[in-house]
Amino acid sequence: MNFRRIVLSVWLFSTVFVSAAFAQIDNLTNMSAEWIRLSNRNAATDATDIVIFNPAGTTSLSEGFHIGIGNQFLFRMPEHSFTDPLGTGPVSYEQDSPDLFVPNVCTAYTSDKWSLFAGVHIPGGGATLDYPDGSYTTRLIGAGLIGPGGPYEGVYTAITNESLEAESLYLAATLGGAYKVTDKVSVAVGIRYIDARNTIDGKLTMSGGVAGEATPDVPLRVDVDQDANGWGGILGVQVAPTDKLNLTMRYETTVKLDFEDDVNTDDIGLYLDGEKNRRDFPAMIGLGASYQLDPKLRCEVDFNWFFQKSADWGENDDGSDNSNDAGDVWSIGAAAAYQATTELEVSAGFLYTKHDWADLDAYYNNNLGAVEVLYSTNVNLSTGFAYKITPDVKLNCGVAYTFWDDEDINTPIGVVSTENDTFLIGLGIDVAIPAN
């Protein structure tokens, strides 16, 4: 079998260039159980997860050691449909695998005017894709093989046994310190290390040979692991002009990531073992403001900007910058928390996230697997509670639902219509160990 001929045929048919290898999920904001019940944490000072969202605010924690542990249960429901290029009717594919382990651990030690903090969390990825009956990508490749102009046109008549499994995980370790410059101003400096891993396992079979036993079914598989790691910096500022108002800023630098392909199996020739594909983790700035309206009611507003266009995501085959097609991403939201009793706080919030696509079609067509991932402008609605089991132990529980905009993507095999909704559950515990 001439696999190079297969690759050429797919390239000519689809114009899908594997410039970014496989589409990752960048810039998650849902990184703690506290966030899931509020959707806004940039100006918070009430739990250890502020190591992630407001590092300068760790000086506002009570003196002593603090630890916060949480996990998310993520139920994603991306779906895409299109007219089958190898048939006459519409087809639809939906992923059906939840992610039940999306953890975070944050720690801080506060004494007098300073604090030290560390944490491990997932700032990007964290999702598993499971399309047991195939997807747009498997159908696209199959059409390139046996469809019009393909090397096996007239030899095989069907693509069967399709499946696609993929996982993307960005694990970040953070370490830093904060100092209270004055009673009203605190600053923080930190570093973070990101270890990123992607796995792709796609299968399809060319079947229905016109010559019967002379053309036996041909199973094809692509099984690839991708790894990258890099370092970045974190800066934070907190200003509290009054006892009721808190203003914050957090800036995270770009983290350079060169993903290296480890090819286990590639019967089609999409990947080269040892080849590197650049996809930086973008810089971001987060702004927040919280205000204590009365002793029981607190409000917060957040704004985040993710500098995707400034990140290096490699070049498309026409020389254009891949990240420019995606454009930048920004979000804005608000939340309220009400102290119902001494032990119980109830909360709700929302976050609107805007994807400023420069060229939506170009991005999806130049990133193999992007249609299966699906991310777009969305609204997240959150609610939940915090309960003090003891004065120093607090349980956090939150639920959130994300409504994603539907997108119609123009692809080489026609219009692909996408839908996506996400349901999240967050559970966490926050423990304070007072200083002696």
Sequence-ordered list of residues with C-beta below 8 angstroms from that of 86, at least 6 positions apart, any chain: 139, 142, 143, 146, 147, 158, 159
- Lookup: tokens for 413: 């095999």
pLDDT of residue 332: 97
| Nearest CA among 279, 382, 376 for reference residue 329 | 376
For residue 67, is it within any domain? Answer: yes
Residues in a beta bridge with 124: 170
| Nearest CA among 174, 1, 78, 127 for reference residue 402 | 78
| Nearest CA among 361, 334, 366 for reference residue 348 | 334
pLDDT of residue 4: 38
Supply φ then ψ for residue 100, to 5 degrees: -105, 0
What DSSP line would sit under 99-117, residue for residue? EEEEEEEEEEEEETTEEEE
pLDDT of residue 16: 37
- Residue 327: give the domain boundaries: 30-125+169-195+226-434
- Lookup: tokens for 172: 């970040």
Residues in a beta bridge with 118: 107, 175
Q: pTM value?
A: 0.90
Which whole-number Å values give the CA distances from 37 to 66, 172, 332, 407, in the listed order? 20, 22, 16, 28
| 422 vs 287: which has the higher pLDDT | 287
What DSSP line would sit under 297-338, residue for residue? EEEEEEEEEEEGGGS---B-TTS-BHHHHH--EEEEEEEEEE
Q: Is the model's pLDDT at 2 over the cut of 50?
A: no
Look at the chain and report how many structural domains it folds into. 1
Q: What is the pLDDT of residues 289-342, one digit of tens each?
A: 999 999 999 999 999 999 999 999 888 777 778 888 888 999 999 999 999 999
> DSSP code of 241?
S
Residues in a beta bridge with 432: 66
The three-class DSSP label of residue 95 is coil
Residue 62: what residue type? S
Mean pLDDT for the stretch of residues 113-140: 90
- Lookup: tokens for 57: 């605010």
Q: What is the pLDDT of residues 170-228, one digit of tens each?
A: 999 999 999 999 999 999 999 999 999 999 999 999 998 888 778 899 999 999 999 99
Which whole-number Å values give the CA distances from 184 to 246, 249, 297, in the listed order? 9, 14, 22
| 9 vs 282: which has the higher pLDDT | 282
- Lookup: tokens for 134: 């195939």
Give the start-end residues of each E strand in 132-244.
158-180, 185-207, 218-239
For residue 297, is it within any domain? Answer: yes
pLDDT of residue 128: 82
What DSSP line would sit under 44-68, residue for residue? --SSTTHHHH-GGGGGGSPSEEEEE
Least confident residue range of 5-14, 210-219, 229-238 = 5-14
The three-class DSSP label of residue 214 is helix
Residues in a beta bridge with 129: 166
Least confident residue range of 96-100, 235-239, 263-267 = 96-100
> DSSP code of 12?
H
For residue 380, is it within any domain? Answer: yes
pLDDT of residue 25: 63
Q: Is the model's pLDDT at 5 over the cut of 80?
A: no
Which whole-number Å values give the CA distances from 407 to 294, 330, 415, in the listed order? 43, 18, 10
Least confident residue range of 12-21, 85-94, 202-211 = 12-21
pLDDT of residue 24: 57
For residue 381, is it within any domain? Answer: yes
In whole angstroms, give the CA distance from residue 206 to residue 160. 7
For residue 391, is it within any domain? Answer: yes
pLDDT confidence of 270, banded at 50, 70, 90?
A: confident
Q: Is the model's pLDDT at 3 over the cut of 80?
A: no
Supply φ then ψ for residue 88, to 5 degrees: -120, -10
Q: Is the model's pLDDT at 6 over the cut of 50?
A: no
In whole angstroms, give the CA distance from residue 359 to residue 279. 18
For residue 208, is it within any domain? Answer: no
CATH number of the domain at 176, please: 2.40.160.60
For residue 143, is it within any domain? Answer: no
Q: What is the pLDDT of residues 365-402, one digit of tens each?
A: 888 778 888 788 999 999 999 999 999 999 999 999 99
In whole angstroms, give the CA distance from residue 49 to residue 323. 30
Indicate if the alpha-carbon torsion angle 151, 154, 156, 159 is positive or negative: positive
**Block residue for tokens 């706080």:** 345
CB 261 within 8 A of CB 274: yes
Sequence-ordered list of residues with C-beta below 8 angstroms from that of 119, at least 6 positions apart, any chain: 51, 52, 104, 105, 106, 107, 173, 174
Mean pLDDT for the chain?
Answer: 89
- Lookup: tokens for 318: 């026409």
For residue 352, is it within any domain? Answer: yes
In whole angstroms, give the CA distance from residue 321 to residue 17. 13
Q: Is the model's pLDDT at 11 over the cut of 90?
A: no
In whole angstroms, give the CA distance from residue 22 to residue 45. 38
What DSSP line would sit under 340-386, residue for residue? -SSSEEEEEEEEEEEE--S-HHHHHHTSTTHHHH---SEEEEEEEEE
